[in-house]
Amino acid sequence: MFEWNGKTQAGLPRIISVRQAFNTSCTNIETTIRSELNKPAIKKHLHPGLNAALAVGSRGIGRIDAIVRSVAEELKSQGLNVFIVPSMGSHGGATAEGQAAYLAGYNITEETMGVPIRSSMEVVELGEVEKGVPIYFDKLAFEKADLIIPINRVKCHTAFRGTVESGLYKMLAIGMGNHIGASAIHSLGFARFRELIPKAGEFILERVSSVKFGVAVVENAEDLPYLIEAVPSAEFKTREPELLKLSWSLMPRLDFKKIDLLVVGELGKNISGAGLDPNVTGRFWMTHMEDGPLLCERIVLLDLTMESHGNAMGVGMADAITRKLLDKIDFHATYTNAITAGRIEKARIPMVMKDDRDAIKIALQAIGLAPGQKPRVVIIKNTLELEHIYVSEGLAEEARMHNSLEIMGDPQDMVFDEAGNLIL
């Protein structure tokens, strides 16, 4: 493994702890779900004896275990027979066992939820949403459930812009299509998603009458549920765009225009579908998407989350990574996801450095600073948790000018343990 023995022009900059102020209001999960499922427009679909399938995906939704458990408990209290269906396209290595393991990683098991988990990659074909574009749907849910309830977070997507992005429509069109369905839609490219996702969603609703409503979650800046709403399927078309706008307003961001080096503590599918959220980094690298508004000259990734189960989708967006991250990659899971999504560049391997220290050093060297110029460095835990960050002295003055940023201490040297891991 390559070990960097050179010196950067400016050395390692000193860093300052900074707190970003975001809206952190959140709702009470149990109370809200009980109220939402008892709204007249929803309750009219809940009849004792019905078999209800809860469609749950692979995204790292905050408190998803509590949300799913609360939905299951409320439905059971009304006499419904509830089971959970993993609905995550090709994730989990595109296997039934892998997708069940994904849910277990979020504390969603038969024991913790009190209901069965039925995982299968079998599908039924519903027809073609347009010529040459077949739409598939989970066979088990289609044949065994009287009521199918998608539970998903509504948020901006990492690869396309539209009035509808990630949310209930996308779970129906891609998540519940399992591997073959996700592949069929992704093969058309993300540039078409803005029109295709709502179109496919409506196509499914017309043919799968058991989808009466969905449970939409909008998160605050701390990855906790700001809003949980049961949305009748007839209102998906109008309500999802409104919830997306709300999500945009609550989304955490890095409030800088330009960063020389962004150091990200961990990459993960539980953090973002892209592993590394380009809505935060500004680095999309797609012909149909403009980069920005934040410009990152270099990006370093230090580790991969345990909850990703080795899926390192997004690693290709970095310029340098560490050996510990490389050693955690499950290439089958990563490549399956990348091929299905049609974004194989996001699975490529950047320069691999021995440890955190070397990865940061080599990235600084590659920036090409003028003599005496202070590097503009930001260090974050991941692209989801952005309340507490670190900035270099080169960004301190800009940070002090923002009302939403609070300087929490004096400049300090970067500290590393004996293994070269950055300590914050």
Q: For residue 223, what pLDDT is reported?
A: 84
Q: For residue 8, what pLDDT is reported?
A: 45
CA distances from 192 to 27, 162, 179 (A): 34, 10, 19
Q: What percentage of the chain carries pLDDT values higher than 90?
A: 71
DSSP assignment letter at 308: G
CA distances from 149 to 52, 96, 128, 177, 372 (A): 7, 19, 23, 15, 59
Q: Are residues 321 and 396 in the same domain?
A: yes
Q: Are residues 101 and 128 in the same domain?
A: yes
5 inside domain: no
6 inside domain: no
Q: Are residues 380 and 394 in the same domain?
A: yes
Q: Are residues 241 and 171 in the same domain?
A: yes
pLDDT in tens, 274-322: 888 888 888 876 665 565 667 789 999 999 999 899 999 999 999 999 9
pLDDT-wise least confident of 175-179, 232-236, 403-407? 403-407
- The DSSP annotation for 53-91 comes to EEEE-SS--TTHHHHHHHHHHHHHHTT-EEEEEE--TTT
284 inside domain: yes
Q: Are residues 219 and 273 in the same domain?
A: no
9 inside domain: no
pLDDT in tens, 181-230: 999 998 888 889 999 999 999 999 999 999 999 999 999 988 899 999 99
Which residue has 């009458």 as its token pair? 209
pLDDT in tens, 354-378: 999 999 999 999 998 888 889 999 9
Q: For residue 2, what pLDDT is reported?
A: 53
What value does the mean pLDDT take over residues 234-238?
Answer: 97
Which CATH number belongs to the domain containing residue 187 in this structure?
A: 3.40.50.11440
Q: For residue 269, what pLDDT is reported?
A: 87
pLDDT at 3 over 80: no
Which of 215, 232, 250 is where one domain is finished? Answer: 250
Q: Higher pLDDT residue, 292 or 348?
A: 348
158 inside domain: yes
Q: Are residues 93 and 131 in the same domain?
A: yes
Which of 250, 269, 286 is where one domain is finished? Answer: 250
Q: Are residues 170 and 64 in the same domain?
A: yes
Which residue has 């692209």 as its token pair? 383
What is the domain extent for residue 240?
A: 29-250
2 inside domain: no
Give the pLDDT band of residue 10 (cuts 50, 70, 90): very low
Q: For residue 6, what pLDDT is reported?
A: 53
pLDDT at 9 over 50: no
Q: Are residues 316 and 378 in the same domain?
A: yes
Which of 223, 250, 277 is where one domain is finished? Answer: 250
Q: For residue 173, what pLDDT is reported?
A: 96
Which residue has 């809505």 as its token pair? 279
Q: Are residues 242 and 266 in the same domain?
A: no
pLDDT in tens, 240-249: 999 999 998 9
How many domains, the chain? 2
Q: Are residues 232 and 285 in the same domain?
A: no
Q: For residue 289, what pLDDT is reported?
A: 58
Q: Are residues 257 and 245 in the same domain?
A: no
Q: Which sign, positive or negative, has the C-alpha torsion 339, 344, 346, 350?
A: positive
Residues paired with residue 263 on neighbouring β-strands, in sequence order: 300, 379
CB 315 within 8 A of CB 348: yes
Return mean pLDDT, the chain: 91
